[in-house]
Structure 1
Amino acid sequence: MEGLINRICVHRDEQVGVYGFVFYRDSGWIDVVIDDLLYTRIPKFEELWGEQADLYHGDKEKFEARARVGGKTLYFSKSKTEDETWLPLLEKAYAKLNGDYQAIIGGFDAEAIEALTGGISTLTPIKDILDVNKFWEELLNVNKDRLFGCAIDDSRVSEVTGLYTSHAYSVLEALEVNGKQFVRIRNPWGKSEWKGRWSDGSKEWTHEWLLRLPELHHKFGDDGEFLMEYKDFLKTWTSVERSRIFDQGWKLSSMWLNVTSRTYPCAWSFGDVSFTFSVTADSPAAIVLSQLNSRCFNEISGYNDWSLDFVVYRKGAPSEEHYTRSYHNWFWQRSASVELDNLEAGDYVLHVRLDRRHTRKKTYYQESVEEWDVRKLSKVWTQAAISKSIAINFDPEPYSEYLPAPEDLFGGVDLNTLEEKQIALEVPPPTTASESNPALSTTDGPKPETSKPDDSSKDGKDKPTGDKAPEPETKSEDKPGATAGGSTNRAAADGETEKKEEKKEDKEDKPVIVTAAELVETSKVVHEGFMCKECKTSPIEGPWYRCLDPACPSYNICEKCMKSKPDAHDKTHKLLHIQTEEDAKKLKDQLKEGEDNSVTLGLRIYTKGESVVTISGQLRHGNILSWKRKDIK
């Protein structure tokens, strides 16, 4: 693609030997600066001995001029064109981005294309291409707004008709000449080619077709480039990687959440996380659901591989009327996506389905940590923490030792002064007179803290890790929500109802009549393992509320604080009204000791023109949603 290298290597100074690159990761561009020092296979003159030194008659200058020049001496990547340096420099920058050269060994070339271009990629089995004519039309746009690669996925053999298996090839061009469809392909190694029909020197190359070589943009030679007829292309390769490149006319909207799935093994089902998004105007669109790019911290990324797919509905549509869904893809890919020629204006709901497999022992980290270089381990953990912090419900507490303080914090102010300012920022505002009065705050109030709450327990057994949920709505209303088990209701957090009731009581001064059974029921329900975030009472007695916003994980507020502190929490956040012990139990996940059920997911939506996309997210809360038997008709 023309000008692509200049879009990646954004600045350079050859005289000084400094190069600046940019790479795309998750939802943003990251700059990397490197020098021009590269690893070589050839030793230094001083390291020669015996016959090696005699070959150059002890002449260091002759050795340097003949043996230590040219790209063929490089240890890692090298360009086929002699003295071309962009490839090894690009590789060095990519290795620095991910930690070291070891971190960039292997993987899918489509993911590397995403890092270089900021595009989105899909890996499609050839057998799933149902309309070969439509796919040919796509191939004709190669190197315009999309890039293609192809591979043979077969571990049983190493070579098929001259093509290496488990190795990615680049599609350079698709062209129609003299009534035939050809695909021009290149092996990135610059050698070893296809030996089937239309290979160099094959019988298909009649005199007439040899005259058309310039028209086919091809020449004979073992340079890694070759032609295949389209029908042979479809028969030979098993998968094709397609990367969509976005120009400046596209806009990106994104949101990331840390998602806690149900304990494995479990049903393969929707219900762990959903996203809602609104679109202001019709637009071409690409919808992508992806995991974090974990290449820079792969060694500590957990023992699960995750696979994802999604279904999109118009808001309020029944389950059988989906709007679109993600493309069928290979399992265990980092992302799932769908492209739409026209995404209509409106409100949508996207439901996610997660699958996973164990690829490491659960104790892999504990067993290998002693072998790590501590300095490298620190840097890897820092990369992991920074990557995970993109989620709006990220909890920094477990990563406090690995998250660096912002560089712009350190200026012309000494460390102690900075600490004083930070402490001052963290001091809570003074309370009102009624809040600070012990008599008012304790009369008929909840009992003092007697046990550790779920959000501060050390062992995490009672901590509902999935207790993070919806993004705020633009308006706050007192809506009764859908019930779960007949007793779990939603309530808005604006406190307006309570205010109106208080005013009414002031005017009429009439008692509220309740039955004795109701009075006993509400006063005696004790919710063990839950603490009020405002008054710090644990366990909570009587009804209470749980915030559903993912930015407020495990935010609980008792009914007393809800009435006395109507402005204590964001009024735009939805709250779940918990009344019975059974309601509270549904909020707890039954997590096994040592189980890692979390994965960070991001929804990215690309649109063009005047269209604006707003995204919100919702997370599962315990086991409120559960299996129901269908009525037998």
Structure 2
Amino acid sequence: MPRPDTTAQHDTATNAAGGGRKANKKAIDAAKRKTEKTFKQSQISVGLLFTSELQAAVKRCSRKVQHIAKHCRARDSKFRDPEFDLENDERLCLQGALGDCYFISALANVVTITGLLEQICVAQEPVVGVYGFIFFRDGAWVDVIIDDQLFVSFPEYESLSQEARAQGTVDEYNIRVRKGNKVLYFAKSMTEGETWVPLIEKAYAKLHGNYHYIVGGFANEAIEDLTGAVCSRTSINYILDPNKFWNELVATAGRTRLYGCFLRGDDQSASDVHDSEYGLIASHAYTVLKAVEYKGKRFVLVQNPWGSGEWKGRWSDGSNEWTAEWKPVLKMLKHEVNGEDGASTVPDFSTTWASSDIWLQMGGLGPLHPWTWGNISYTISVPEATPAVIVLRQLDTRYFRDISCSLLYTMEFVLFRKGSNEPLAVSPRAHAIDRSQSVEVDLKAGEYVVHVRLDSLVRRDVDYFEKQMSNWDAQVLKRVLAQRAIAYSKASNSTSEWNDTIPTSLRSLAGQDLTSLEILKVEKKRREQAKRMEELAGQEYEEGGEEEEGGDEYEEEANEEGDAEAKAEAEDDNQVVHQGISCDNCRASPISGTRYSCNSEEHPNYDLCQDCFGDCDHDPEHEMIIIPVPRGEKPVHKGIYCSNCGYIVKGTQYNCLSEDCEDANLCEECFGKGEHDQTHEMWMMPLPQSSTEDDDGVGFETDRPVHPGIQCNSCGMVPVVGPRFKCMDPKCTEYDLCEDCFARGVHPSDHRMLRLDDPNEALHLNPAAAAEGSTLVLGLRVNTRKGAAAVLGGQLKHGSLK
């Protein structure tokens, strides 16, 4: 979608500030007067997505502009943006002529809202030459700072040939060629002296890396970037009820919604095909300003962002149809609903609506992957009835599209009430180039599930990046890699694969030295861990209190054992019960209260209850292990004694591999205390070695299930013996716990865990290997009424569901 032809020559010697603050303010005021003269949107509810994030972005942007202006005045110099330097780093910023009519169309639509432009350009110091803008990107407001340098279509006088300079003086040349809006290479305003259009276009180009990266697009996406609005595309041919759509257009255009349109041409390769009969341009974005109906006829006021190229058919400007009978239509189309001048009051989104969002990173889809459901899902929980806008979106990959994945994805989603088989809402069928899909729905209090269907299309070879590496400019590539890493880091389950490419911001360092920052980071983690343990201890205390009140748990255990005396004792004394363990002296079964276990090889399975421990004549030289509460059944490593405490090793054996320690072993308790040289490598053996060895030289003396190759991510047990607990939260990749670590609550309680009692139960949990170049990051945002904020969750497939 290129602009009308411009010369291939360009330069950067145009100062956007012109005559300084007054000149720039005069230009903006002129733009506003022209907008109000041609058409003025009603001042009702169209505006920016006003949230706390927006307020923070505006303050941050303003501080940056003020900071830059302060230091520039101290140096007595104009601001030149080192990150987007048009004059010295042209290769980083300019790559071909521009075709961003979609963005200019969106801008023309947005600027009809009185005062909205000032909310996008939040700070400026024209004398210094610094401007601050905000844009909505990937669900969050971001600020962009630029200088006032702009590309122009004609070179400076000094760079002309001797023959060209002979045609006149430098002043004559500048007046004739290098003055006014006509000299600008990219966007320009139809009003002489206005500079806000090329400035905001430059900021948009910087947001996405360079001017080339904003070539081609759709006005709905640009409106979303400018306002944070929820946008969608609709094909006129597929509208079921045209009358209903027309009534909505008349009622909402310029009031509660913004509209754009484009004409699809027959030749999709030609993006600027003019219709000689009617004056329309195929594959070109237009702005819909207003729609009215008069005497049974329907009229739509449409604006071309180029400022030229109008409709030439019936009812066009100056056509014979505009008789006195129909002149009222013109007044209706240009009628100001609210005649008062001045900026509108934009509704505060945060006082009436709440937003919740979650991003997930996924892979595994290849070019031949079926168009299917079941790769990713989301959950939504709302506390009360509320209208809702649900948006599923992919990342904005414009900045790093040249190194993004080799596939294009189409997506659609269906909303269910949890437990129901009937869809509550269905998104429109998406195109491969659609960035988002959305539905509007009324929700009742409760839980909901969103299922997503994905399809993949090949757009280039998997190894395209490696093939093009030699052609990349190193400076450009570093910035592109950083932006990809920043974007992917939005996912709650993002990996650290590209973290090293993310630059560290000065704001995160400020007045702290690096050592202090690293200490603060560790202390923060320690506080978070302590807080988590306090919460866990509180939960255990509450659970213990409930058990003490009722005694139901112990009553059931005693009934299962069929021992009336143990049952009565547990109820009377409120003591714990060691199921399956009997006293070898009085034969009480099960033992209640404290259990005493003999640690001698002569009596490997000898236990006493607390009453018999002090009265029986058991060998006094045998050490007894005090077990106040029941513990999981642990294998005994016969003949292996802990080098620290001297007891026989039960549970996991830790064998020191250092040459300095001859046959040194530790039990679980002593290893956990860290009472051995921390620099020594330890070999962990959860199971004892058998005298009858198998082909691998190791036999297992346990009836408990063994999960081959699975390691506990907390204590390090490998393989996991006994029940395996697998975390199903997307943030935890291949995270497993043994039974003891799960019982200790070492993992966040809000993560859903899958208990696997047998290795065969995990056979379906073998996810397909992620296809190279298939990474996809999907986000779900739910806008609800204030007070009914949604709680979101996300789930990824861990294996086959068939």
Contact 1:125/1:329 (<8 A) preserved: no
Give 2:509's aligned residue. Answer: 410
Distance 2:217 2:291 in 1: 26
Describe the shift of the 1:553–1:526 C-alpha distance in structure 2 as closer, same or farther (beyond 3 A).
Answer: closer
Residue of 727, 740, 748 corresponding to 1:570: 748
In structure 1, the partner of 2:799 is 622
Aligned to 2:108: none
Letter in 2 for 1:71: N
Change (3 A) 1:294 1:25: same
User: In structure 1, how many angstroms separate the alpha carbons of the residues matched to 2:361 and 2:294?
Assistant: 51
Alignment of 1:55-66 (within 5 A): 55-56=167-168, 58=169, 60-66=170-176
Which structure is higher in helix share? Answer: 2
Query: 1:100 and 1:246, CA in 2 relative to 1: closer, same or farther beyond 3 A?
Result: farther
Kindly state the Cα deviation for residue 179 of structure 1 after the two structures are TM-superposed: 3.5
| Shift, 1:346, TM fit | 2.4
Q: In the alignment, which of 372, 376, 400 is matched to residue 499 of structure 2?
A: 400
Could you say if the C-alpha distance between residues 377 and 203 of structure 1 is closer, same or farther in structure 2, counting changes exceeding 3 Å?
Answer: same
What residue in structure 1 maps to residue 434 of structure 2?
Answer: 333
The question of 1:117 aligning with 2:190 is answered no
1:88 Cα deviation from its structure 2 partner: 0.2
Greater mean deviation of Cα atoms: 182-191 or 158-167: 158-167
How far did 1:128 drift? 1.7
Residue of structure 2 equivalent to 1:265 = 368
Which AA in structure 2 matches 1:12?
Q
Q: Which has the larger radius of gyration?
A: 2
C-alpha displacement at 1:109, in angstroms? 1.6
The 5 A counterparts of 1:430-579 are 503-505=576-578, 509=582, 510=589, 523=704, 525-528=706-709, 530-563=710-743, 566-579=744-757
Alignment of 1:104 onto 2:214: yes
CA positional deviation for 1:506: 6.6
1:187 has 2:304 as partner: yes
Deviates more, 1:399-408 or 1:609-618: 399-408
Other-structure match for 1:233: none
Could you say if the C-alpha distance between residues 217 and 417 of structure 1 is closer, same or farther in structure 2, counting changes exceeding 3 Å? closer
Q: Give how far 1:366 is off.
A: 0.6
- Return the letter of the residue paired with 1:407: L
Counterpart residue type for residue 336 of structure 1: Q
Counterpart CA distance in 2 for 1:283 and 1:413 is 46
Once the 2 structures are TM-superposed, how far is the Cα of residue 143 of structure 1 from its aligned partner?
Answer: 1.8
Structure 2 residue corresponding to 1:367, chosen from 467, 470, 474: 467
Is residue 2:253 matched to residue 1:142? yes
**Which residue, out of 240, 243, 254, partners 1:130?**
240
CA distance in 1 between counterparts of 2:334 and 2:397 reads 39
Change in 2 beyond 3 A, CA 1:378/1:430: closer
Q: Aligned to 1:194, what secondary structure does the other structure show?
A: coil
> Does structure 1 conserve the Cα–Cα contact (< 8 Å) formed by 2:364 and 2:769?
no
Counterpart in the other structure of 1:443: none
**Amino acid of the structure 2 residue aligned with 1:404:** P
Give the SS at the match of 2:500: coil
Distance 1:583 1:506, change over 3 A: closer
Measured after TM superposition, the shift of residue 45 of structure 1 is 1.6
Q: Aligned residue for 2:154? A: 42
- Measured after TM superposition, the shift of residue 576 of structure 1 is 0.8
2 CA distance for matches of 1:412 and 1:119? 38
SS in 2 for 1:275: strand
Query: Residue deviations 1:534-572, cap 9 Å, x none?
Result: 122444345311111222222111235435xx1221233
- Aligned partners of 1:94 and 1:409: how far apart in 2? 25
| 2:292–2:332 CA contact under 8 A, matched in 1 | no
CA contact (8 A) 1:124 1:328 kept: no
Per-residue deviation, residues 333-375 of structure 1 (Å, max 9, x unmatched)? 11111123x3333221111111111111111111112211111
- The one-letter amino acid paired with 1:193 is E
Deviation at 1:213, TM superposition (A): 3.7
- Distance in 2 of aligned mates of 1:171 and 1:102: 26
Name the SS of the counterpart of 2:200 in structure 1.
helix
Q: Which has the higher contact order (CA 8 A, sep 6+)?
A: 1
Distance in 2 between residues matched to 1:270 and 1:311, nearest whole Å = 10
Instruction: Give the whole-Å Cα distance in 1 for the aligned partners of 2:129 and 2:505.
Output: 29
Structure 2: which amino acid aligns with 1:365? Answer: F
RMSD of aligned C-alpha atoms? Answer: 3.2
What secondary structure is seen at the aligned counterpart in 1 of 2:217?
A: coil
SS in 2 for 1:382: helix
AA in 2 matched with 1:333: D
Q: Distance in 2 between matches of 1:376 and 1:90?
A: 22
Runs of at least 5 residues in structure 2 that lack an aligned partner in the other structure:
1-112, 336-346, 531-538, 541-551, 558-574, 583-588, 591-631, 634-699
Match of 1:90 in 2: 200
For the residues of structure 1 that align with 2:288 and 2:529, how far apart are their CA atoms?
A: 66
- 8 A Cα contact 1:254 1:604, kept in partner: yes
**Map of 1:140-219 to 2, 5 A cutoff?**
140=250, 141-156=252-267, 158-160=273-275, 161-209=278-326, 213-217=330-334
Partner SS for 1:395: coil
TM-score where L is the length of structure 1:
0.75
Tell me the distance in 2 between the aligned counterparts of 1:328 and 1:416. 53
Identity of aligned residues (%): 40
Q: Is contact 1:78–1:88 with CA below 8 Å preserved after alignment?
A: yes
Match in the other structure for 2:142: 30
Kindly state the Cα deviation for residue 29 of structure 1 after the two structures are TM-superposed.
0.3
In structure 2, how many angstroms separate the alpha carbons of the residues matched to 1:147 and 1:118?
12
TM-score normalised to structure 2 length: 0.60
Give the structure with the larger strand fraction: 1
Of 373, 383, 386, which aligns to 1:280?
383
Contact kept, 8 Å, 1:288 with 1:335, in 2: the verdict is yes
Structure 1 residues 17, 537: CA separation in 2 closer, same or farther (over 3 Å shift)?
same
In the alignment, structure 1 residue 11 sits paired with structure 2 residue 189: no
Residues 258 and 179 (structure 1 numbering): CA distance in 2 closer, same or farther, change over 3 Å? same
Instruction: Indicate conservation of the 8 Å contact 1:118/1:246, yes or no.
Output: no
How far does the alpha carbon of each residue in 1:578-612 deviate from its partner, in whole angstroms, 9 at most, with x for none?
233333332222327x5334311111111234322
Compute the displacement of 1:78 (Å): 0.7
Q: Distance in 2 between matches of 1:414 and 1:325?
A: 53
Residues 176 and 429 of structure 1: is their aligned pair in 2 closer, same or farther, counting only changes over 3 Å? closer
SS in 1 for 2:448: strand
Partner deviation per Cα, 1:2-23 (whole Å, 9 max, x = no partner):
2221121111122222211000
Tell whether the 8 Å contact from 2:389 to 2:783 is kept in structure 1 after alignment. Answer: yes
Task: Give the 3 Å change call, closer, same or farther, for CA 377–134 of structure 1 in structure 2.
Answer: same
Classify 1:181/1:531 alpha carbon distance in 2 versus 1 (closer, same or farther; 3 Å). same
**CA shift digits 1:518-538 (9 cap, x unpaired):** x9995464423x322112244
Post-superposition Cα deviations, 1:41-86, rounded to whole Å, max 9, x if no partner, equal 1211211224422332x3x233333422211100111111221111
Where 2:326 maps in the other structure, the secondary structure is helix
